[in-house]
Amino acid sequence: MEKSAIMVEFLSKKIDWIDIEYWFYIFNDLSLIYIIVPFFILELIRYAYLKRLNKNLLLDSVANVVTFGAFLAIEIALGILAITKVYFWVYQNISLPHLELNWVTILSCIILADFAYYWEHRMMHRIGIGWATHTVHHSSPHFNMSVAYRFGPFDAIMPIIFSLPLVMLGFNPILVLLSEVFVQVFQTLLHTEIIGKLVKPVEYIFNTPSHHRVHHGSNRQYWDKNYAGIFIIWDRLLGTFEPEVEKVIYGISEPLKSTNPMKVFFHGITRFYRKLNQIEGVKNKLLVFVKPPDWMPKKQETYEVE
């Protein structure tokens, strides 16, 4: 009973922003130095040992970094608008009473941000305009840490829709943003073939490299599975879980076959635009934005994507 009281007291203890920013800095920003870059070098060594290190893989990795730079520029521009304007306006005007900063609210915000990420990620796969940008992330035929930084042009926009409810619940917008980044950094660590399946309790509750390899598979049974960020339990509860059984073939159903960074970054949008032009009728054109990516009006034949 005494231990429980100590734990409750610890979790409810008020935390200063300087402490929050410090810990997020350690786990988010510095992870690039002490985990991601060293791990990617290890992956390159493994590729070389397996005689899979080739020009295509190296150029693909370069393209991934370039798309991240373009994405980051868009995210910074939108971040200034969304965080300083929309988020704080919602926070000050239409949110529930503001929550103080303690370990309970921080952990709650991370869990809710992860749940919001699940639905955002699912939407990115299941509606046309979402897949037009998110397909960039899935278009690499390789799977390594650099692929985690492969982003599409609108990938910074969609999360806003799912983040605002957290702000409306009374969570500070900056805490919401930091929690989203934490979820993204956790996902970065899952992009690897080096780590096999982990012990069953971990595999059951958390997203793992094995689960995320499935998510990147172009194998038909792996399509639209394992959307989770941190907790795979969301997929198990909501019927979108698939275990890694068959060898994963990475990429998308209509392969990109290019390592040109600009083509990689914009190919989803250009394909979406070509499809839109081939659809007849204003109503059908509007439906393309919200219908599944493979949707076509019944009276029209399937179009050619290339």
- Residue 281 within any structural domain of the chain: no
Burial (CB count <10 Å: 0-12, 13-18, 19+), residue 252: buried
Using 50 as the pLDDT threshold, list the residues of the chain that sit under it.
1, 5, 7, 303-306
Inside any domain, residue 271: no
Residue 193 neighbours by CB under 8 Å, 6+ apart: 43, 46, 143, 144, 209, 213
With respect to residue 38, please indicate whether it lies within any of the assigned structural domains. yes
Tell whether 301 is covered by a domain. no
Mean pLDDT value across the chain: 89
CA distance 140 to 96: 42
Question: What local confidence, expressed as pLDDT, does residue 306 receive?
Answer: 43
Query: Does residue 121 belong to any structural domain of this protein?
Result: yes
| Residue 229 DSSP label | S
pLDDT tens, 76-132?
777 667 767 888 899 999 999 999 988 999 999 999 999 999 999 999 999 999 999
Which structural domain, as residue segments, surrounds residue 193?
12-266
pLDDT tens across 240-269, in order? 999 999 999 999 999 999 999 999 999 999
Distance CA 288, CA 290 (A): 6
Q: Is 181 exposed, middle or buried (0-12, 13-18, 19+ CB in 10 A)?
A: middle
- Structure confidence at residue 4 (pLDDT): 53
Q: Identity (one letter) of the amino acid at 57?
A: L
63: Cβ–Cβ under 8 A, 6 or more apart, which residues? 150, 259, 260, 261, 264
In a domain, 285, yes or no: no
- 1 found inside a domain: no
The answer to whether position 257 is within a domain reads yes
Q: Please give the tally of structural domains in the chain.
A: 1
Single pTM value for the model: 0.90
